[in-house]
C-alpha cells in the first residue's frame, strides 16, 4: 500500500478517567471513502473530531500528507466538515451560507461568486441561491451543508452522521449522490455513521469501532462476508450464529461439528485451531429453502413464522432448538407454520469466527 494520506498513530483520547479512543492506529489513502461505523460511545465521532481539530489527542499523533496536524487549529487544516444538524446560518441566504468559508479566507468577491455558483450547480441548487434555509427541505439543506464544505476545495471532507435527520427514501438517494460526488471529484471522505446499510452502500473501506478500538477494517464485502469477531458479525447486517467446534482444517477446507452433532464443511483459511470453539456465521440470504445441495451442507428445520416483505419472505425457522432466519423468494408463499423444510448452503456461504470470551461485548 502507498504511504497513507491520513494517519492516526497510537492515538488516544480520554475525558478524565474515561478513555474514549484507545491507542488507535488507522491509515487512509488519498481519494478513499472510509466510513467509521459503530454503536454510540464506541469512539468514532471523537476520532473524527480529533481529525477536524475540535478535540486534541491525549496521546499519539495525527498526520495528513506526511505532516503532523494534531497541534493545528481547525481553520488551518483545510478540511470541510458536514454535521448532522447542518449548522446553517438561518439569517443568511443559501449563497451567503456557502460563501462564508471563502470570506473567512479573504477570497475576492468575484471569485467567491464564481465558486458559489459552481458548487451550488454541482449539488443541483443553483436556482435557489437567494432562499433562506427555512425555505428548503431537509435534503436541500443537507446539500447546502455539503456545498459549503466543498466550496473552498478542501483536502479532506469529514461527515458526522450527515444523513441522520432525513427520511428513509431521501436518505438513500443522498447516499448515492454523495457516492457519485466522491467518485467524480476524487475526494478523500471520512464518514461517521451508526447505520450499517449506509456504510456498506457508500464506502471503499469500513472501520468497525468497539470500545474505542477498531474491531475490524476492510472493504464492505470483507466486513460482511468474513467478519473477524462475533461483534462485527452481529453489528453488520443480520446473521445467524451457530455454536460449534473445529474438527479439522486442511487446504482451506474446515470441518465444523455443530452443537447438535452435525458436521458442516466450510471454505475458510481462518486462524482457528482443531478443537477450538467457534460461532458459524450464516447470512439469511445465503440459506436456501428446499433446494438440496449434494456438494454442500443440508440441515432439517421447522417453520416457526413467515413475514411478508414484498420482494421476499422472512422465514423464521427452528433448527435443533435454535432460531434461524432466512430470506426466501415470493414463490414460497405456500409455506405454512410447522412445515418441515431443508436448509442448504455451500461451504463458501458461511464463515467461522472464534467464540468470544465471556466478558466480550456484543451488540444488544
Tens of pLDDT, residue by residue over 55-65, are 999 999 999 99
- Per-residue model confidence as pLDDT tens digits over 113-165: 999 998 898 888 888 889 999 999 888 888 898 888 888 888 899 999 888 77
Judge if 77 and 183 occupy the same domain.
yes
Please tell me the total count of domains within the chain.
2
| Grid coordinates belonging to 30 | 488519498
Give me the pLDDT at residue 302, please.
94
> Do β-strands 351-354 and 277-282 pair in parallel, antiparallel, or remain unpaired?
antiparallel
Give me the pLDDT at residue 23, please.
95
Judge if 50 and 169 occupy the same domain.
yes
Judge if 217 and 243 occupy the same domain.
no
Give me the pLDDT at residue 86, please.
75
| Grid coordinates belonging to 356 | 468470544
In a domain, 1, yes or no: no
Least confident of 1-10, 14-23, 27-36: 1-10
Q: How far apart are CA 352 and CA 266, in angstroms?
A: 8
* pLDDT surpasses 70 at 360: no
Judge if 134 and 210 occupy the same domain.
yes
Q: Which of 203, 225, 247 is the last residue of a domain?
A: 225
> Which residues are bridge partners to 7 per DSSP?
27, 63
- Per-residue model confidence as pLDDT tens digits over 185-219: 888 999 999 889 899 999 999 999 999 999 999 99
- Per-residue model confidence as pLDDT tens digits over 218-243: 999 999 999 999 999 999 989 999 99
- Per-residue model confidence as pLDDT tens digits over 298-341: 999 999 999 988 888 899 999 988 999 999 887 777 889 999 99
Q: Which of 195, 225, 255 is the last residue of a domain?
A: 225
In order, the DSSP letters of 322-334 are EEEEEEE-GGGTT
* pLDDT surpasses 80 at 354: yes
Q: Which of 169, 193, 225 is the last residue of a domain?
A: 225
* Mean pLDDT value across the chain: 89
In a domain, 312, yes or no: yes
In a domain, 90, yes or no: yes
In a domain, 115, yes or no: yes
Would you say 332 and 314 are in contact if contact means Cβ atoms under 8 Å apart?
Answer: no
Would you say 142 and 85 are in contact if contact means Cβ atoms under 8 Å apart?
Answer: no
- The enclosing domain of 197 has a CATH number of 3.40.50.300
Judge if 30 and 134 occupy the same domain.
yes
- The enclosing domain of 291 has a CATH number of 2.40.50.100
Q: What is the average per-residue pLDDT within 275-299? A: 88
Give me the pLDDT at residue 364, please.
40
With CA atoms as reference, report the closest residue to 240 among 324, 333, 357: 324
| Grid coordinates belonging to 46 | 471523537
Judge if 125 and 69 occupy the same domain.
yes
In a domain, 360, yes or no: no
Judge if 88 and 215 occupy the same domain.
yes
* pLDDT surpasses 50 at 362: no
* pLDDT surpasses 50 at 244: yes
* pLDDT surpasses 50 at 6: yes
Q: How far apart are CA 247 and CA 261, in angstroms?
A: 11
Give me the pLDDT at residue 225, please.
93
Would you say 37 and 199 are in contact if contact means Cβ atoms under 8 Å apart?
Answer: yes
Q: How far apart are CA 362 and CA 364, in angstroms?
A: 7
Judge if 213 and 289 occupy the same domain.
no
* pLDDT surpasses 50 at 359: no
The pLDDT confidence band at residue 105, using thresholds 50, 70 and 90, is confident
- Per-residue model confidence as pLDDT tens digits over 160-179: 988 877 778 878 888 888 88
Judge if 296 and 157 occupy the same domain.
no
In a domain, 359, yes or no: no
Ramachandran quadrant class, 211 (left: phi over 0; alpha: psi -120 to 50; beta: rest)? left
The pLDDT confidence band at residue 358, using thresholds 50, 70 and 90, is low
Dihedrals phi, psi of 126, to nearest 5 degrees: -60, -25
Give me the pLDDT at residue 250, please.
84
Judge if 29 and 143 occupy the same domain.
yes
Judge if 268 and 187 occupy the same domain.
no
Give me the pLDDT at residue 3, please.
86
Domain coverage including residue 296: 238-354
| Grid coordinates belonging to 50 | 480529533
Would you say 234 and 228 are in contact if contact means Cβ atoms under 8 Å apart?
Answer: no
Q: What is the average per-residue pLDDT within 266-272? A: 84
Judge if 207 and 268 occupy the same domain.
no
The pLDDT confidence band at residue 1, using thresholds 50, 70 and 90, is low
Amino acid at each position: 500500500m502507498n504511504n497513507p494520506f491520513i494517519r492516526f498513530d497510537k492515538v488516544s483520547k480520554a475525558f478524565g478517567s474515561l478513555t474514549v479512543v484507545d491507542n488507535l492506529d488507522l491509515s487512509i489513502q488519498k481519494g478513499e471513502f472510509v466510513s467509521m461505523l459503530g454503536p454510540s460511545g464506541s469512539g468514532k465521532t471523537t476520532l473524527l473530531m480529533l481529525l477536524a481539530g475540535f478535540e486534541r489527542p491525549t496521546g499519539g499523533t495525527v498526520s495528513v500528507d506526511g505532516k503532523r496536524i494534531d497541534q493545528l487549529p481547525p481553520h488551518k487544516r483545510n478540511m470541510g466538515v458536514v454535521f448532522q444538524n447542518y449548522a446553517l446560518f438561518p439569517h443568511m441566504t443559501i449563497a451567503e451560507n456557502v460563501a462564508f468559508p471563502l470570506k473567512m479566507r479573504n477570497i475576492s468577491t468575484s471569485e467567491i461568486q464564481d465558486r458559489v455558483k459552481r458548487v451550488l450547480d454541482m449539488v443541483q441548487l443553483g436556482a435557489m441561491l437567494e432562499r433562506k434555509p427555512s425555505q428548503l427541505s431537509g435534503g436541500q439543506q443537507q446539500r447546502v451543508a455539503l456545498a459549503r464544505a466543498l466550496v473552498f476545495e478542501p483536502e479532506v471532507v469529514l461527515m458526522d452522521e450527515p444523513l441522520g435527520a432525513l427520511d428513509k427514501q431521501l436518505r438513500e438517494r443522498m447516499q448515492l449522490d454523495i457516492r457519485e460526488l466522491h467518485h467524480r471529484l476524487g475526494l478523500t471522505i471520512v464518514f461517521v455513521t451508526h447505520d450499517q446499510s449506509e456504510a456498506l452502500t457508500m464506502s471503499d473501506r469500513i472501520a468497525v469501532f468497539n470500545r474505542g478500538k477498531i474491531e475490524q477494517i476492510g472493504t464492505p464485502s470483507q466486513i460482511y462476508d468474513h467478519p473477524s469477531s462475533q461483534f462485527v458479525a452481529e453489528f453488520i447486517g443480520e446473521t445467524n450464529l451457530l455454536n460449534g467446534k473445529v474438527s479439522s482444517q486442511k487446504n482451506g477446507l474446515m470441518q465444523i461439528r455443530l452443537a447438535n452433532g452435525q458436521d458442516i464443511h466450510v471454505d475458510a483459511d481462518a486462524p482457528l485451531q482443531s478443537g477450538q470453539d467457534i460461532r458459524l456465521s450464516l447470512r439469511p440470504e445465503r440459506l436456501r429453502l428446499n433446494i438440496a445441495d449434494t456438494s454442500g451442507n443440508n440441515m432439517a428445520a421447522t417453520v416457526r413464522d413467515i413475514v411478508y416483505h414484498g420482494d421476499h419472505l422472512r422465514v423464521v425457522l427452528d433448527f435443533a432448538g435454535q432460531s434461524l432466519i432466512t430470506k426466501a423468494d415470493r414463490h414460497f408463499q405456500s409455506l405454512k407454520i410447522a412445515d418441515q423444510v431443508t436448509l442448504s448452503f455451500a461451504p463458501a456461504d458461511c464463515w467461522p469466527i472464534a467464540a468470544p470470551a465471556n466478558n466480550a461485548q456484543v451488540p444488544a
